[in-house]
Structure 1
Amino acid sequence: MNTLKIALQKSGRLSEKSLGILSECGIKLPDFKSKLKNTATNFPLEILFLRDDDIPKYVENGIVDIGIIGENEVLEQKRKVSVIRRLGFANCRLSLAVPKEAQYTGIQFFSQKKIATSYPNIVSDFLKKKQIEAQVVEISGSVEIAPSIGLADAVADLVSSGSTLLHNGLTEVEEILQSEAVMISNNTLQPEVAEILDALLFRIQAVLNSRENKYILLNAPNSAIKSITELLPGMKSPTILPLADSGWSSIHSVVKENEFWQIIDQLKKLGAEGILVIPIEKMVF
């Protein structure tokens, strides 16, 4: 029987999120603690737990078929792999930061400076694009300490909240790129394996759709139905059910979560009452 092989980060937040989305896809795994390889019990999927910087290489060489990794790692390594799905978690940015006492006046600040980073290729490409000549110093781990020990004048590092930079006396001044978790694939998948991948991607998309949308129920006077349905088009069209009270209906629809608060006041002005917003577990178009 053919099996789809996937590489995941063996520990950390990205690993937890990756296993979480597989679980939401209905894929069951035996106890994986202390294991570097595992096999799903109800889906043809085998998982290898690797260091994050090894995943692109394993995918490129066909040791595994796909992997979940930060986009920043894919861009840094420049391996011959394809990004096949953006996953919407593990969001961060790669930014340039300088000591807080530095007099930063713009990108030219970095001219002839030393910049410490774990992402020398991305940083070098960025500086070249900006026509800045600087020395990129590659280090792994504890990048933030480089200026305080005299190793570099500035750093380029991944930032989520920015608290780590602040704790090390650094100020974020330039964003190089935005990153999130992505699924990558090698470019030589066998047709049978590609079919399994399509089935997995279908499940993942249903999960991602559910995260972006909410199910909304509300009561409204019949005179407002046309205006409300224009605000809440749903997947195709809203469901409208008459209430026991004459002249009123219940409207059921789907709304994007990031749009709900923008339209809630309009719904209320149109006479909507008893508005309920409910999470969606899976959503298939």
Structure 2
Amino acid sequence: MSKLKIAVQKSGRLHEDSMKLLKDVGISIDNGRDQLKASAKNFPIEVFYLRNGDIPQYLRDGVVDAAIIGENILFEKGNDIPITEKLGFSNCKVSLAVPKSSTYKSIQDLQGKRIATSYPNTVNQYLIKNKIEAQLHIINGSVEIAPNIGLADAIVDIVSSGSTLFKNNLKEVEVLLQSEAVLAVSPLISKENLEILNKLKFRFQSVLKGRQSKYVLLNAPNDRIQDIINILPGMKSPTVLPLAETGWSSLHSVINKNDFWHIIDELKLQGAQGILVCPIENMVI
């Protein structure tokens, strides 16, 4: 039986988030310490643990069929590789930073300056777009130290919380790229393995939709039901069930977690009581 070969980052935050997603979709990975490859017990899949920067070439060559990878890596090293699903976690950005003492006002201030980065292709595209000529110093790791030792006037690197920039006396001044984890697919994937990938993608979509949603149960007077239904978007329409107490009903629906408090406030104004909010593990549409 054919197995889908999927790559994930060998270590780091993206690795942890990727393995959690696989676990949440019911895939049990039997991997021992320091293994570079592991098979699932209950799904036709093999997981390859690779260096993030190597994954685009493995996809391009068909060594792996798919990968959970940062969008920023594909932009830098694999913009010819198709993305089949955005996964909504491991969010970060590729940003330009300068010393806090800098009088930086606009991108034009980079003209003729030195920029240290691990993302030369991304930076070059940005400079060309803005018609700026600058000198690049390509550094793998510890890019933030470059201005402090006089190697560069600015840096371009991954920014998550911004704490690393703060510690190195730098300030973020431009965002070149917003990034999140994505599911990328090899252009050489077989038809059989593409079918397996589509099954995996369906599971991913169900879990990710559940993560973004909350299940809401509430009690409401019957004369306010329509007003409350207008507030609750639901998947199609809320479920309405009569309560033992005359004139009251129970409503069940799904809301987006980002709209949670705003919707709860509106429900209370419309007379909703006993509002119960539950997490959703999976949401199959």
Instruction: Please classify the TM superposition score into its range, dividing by the shorter chain length.
Output: over 0.9
Distance 1:124 1:254 in 2: 45
Contact 1:84 1:185 in 2 (8 A): yes
SS at match of 2:176: strand
Distance 1:78 1:46 in 2: 22
SS at match of 2:254: strand
Matches within 5 A, 1:29-68: 29-68=29-68
Matches within 5 A, 1:1-80: 1-78=1-78, 80=80
Counterpart in the other structure of 2:227? 227
Report the count of equivalent residues. 285
Per-residue CA distance 1:119-171 (angstroms, 9 max, x = gap): 00001101111111111211100000000111100000110110100100100
Counterpart in the other structure of 2:161? 161
Cα drift, residue 81 of structure 1:
1.6
Distance 2:130 2:28 in 1: 48
Distance 2:175 2:156 in 1: 9
Distance 2:49 2:14 in 1: 12
Cα drift, residue 176 of structure 1:
0.6
Task: Report the residue type matching 1:206 in the other structure.
Answer: S
Task: Report the residue type matching 1:103 in the other structure.
Answer: T
- Residue identity over aligned pairs, in percent, reads 56
Q: CA RMSD in A?
A: 0.9
Cα drift, residue 31 of structure 1:
3.5
Cα drift, residue 106 of structure 1:
1.4
Task: Report the residue type matching 1:266 in the other structure.
Answer: E
Matches within 5 A, 1:49-128: 49-78=49-78, 80-128=80-128
Cα drift, residue 79 of structure 1:
5.2
Cα drift, residue 233 of structure 1:
2.8
SS at match of 1:38: strand
Distance 2:66 2:31 in 1: 22
Counterpart in the other structure of 2:257? 257
Task: Report the residue type matching 1:11 in the other structure.
Answer: S
Contact 1:60 1:79 in 2 (8 A): no
Instruction: Provide the TM-score with structure 2 as the length reference.
Output: 0.98
SS at match of 1:199: helix
Task: Report the residue type matching 1:221 in the other structure.
Answer: P
Counterpart in the other structure of 2:143? 143
Residue 276 of structure 1 pairs with residue 276 of structure 2: yes
SS at match of 2:29: coil
Distance 1:240 1:157 in 2: 51
Cα drift, residue 107 of structure 1:
1.3
Cα drift, residue 104 of structure 1:
1.4
Per-residue CA distance 1:204-225 (angstroms, 9 max, x = gap): 0000010111100011111110
Per-residue CA distance 1:86-128 (angstroms, 9 max, x = gap): 1111100111000001111111111111010000000110111
Distance 2:209 2:33 in 1: 30
Cα drift, residue 188 of structure 1:
2.2
Task: Report the residue type matching 1:64 in the other structure.
Answer: V
Task: Report the residue type matching 1:56 in the other structure.
Answer: P
SS at match of 2:251: strand
Instruction: Provide the TM-score with structure 1 as the length reference.
Output: 0.98
Distance 2:188 2:61 in 1: 10
Distance 1:276 1:33 in 2: 42
Matches within 5 A, 1:235-246: 235-246=235-246
SS at match of 1:81: coil
Contact 1:80 1:186 in 2 (8 A): no
Task: Report the residue type matching 2:85 in the other structure.
Answer: R
Farther-moved stretch of structure 1 (30-39 vs 40-49): 30-39
Distance 1:150 1:236 in 2: 60
Consecutive unaligned residues in structure 2, runs of 5 or more: none
Contact 1:83 1:185 in 2 (8 A): yes
Residue 206 of structure 1 pairs with residue 203 of structure 2: no
Task: Report the residue type matching 1:147 in the other structure.
Answer: P
SS at match of 2:126: helix
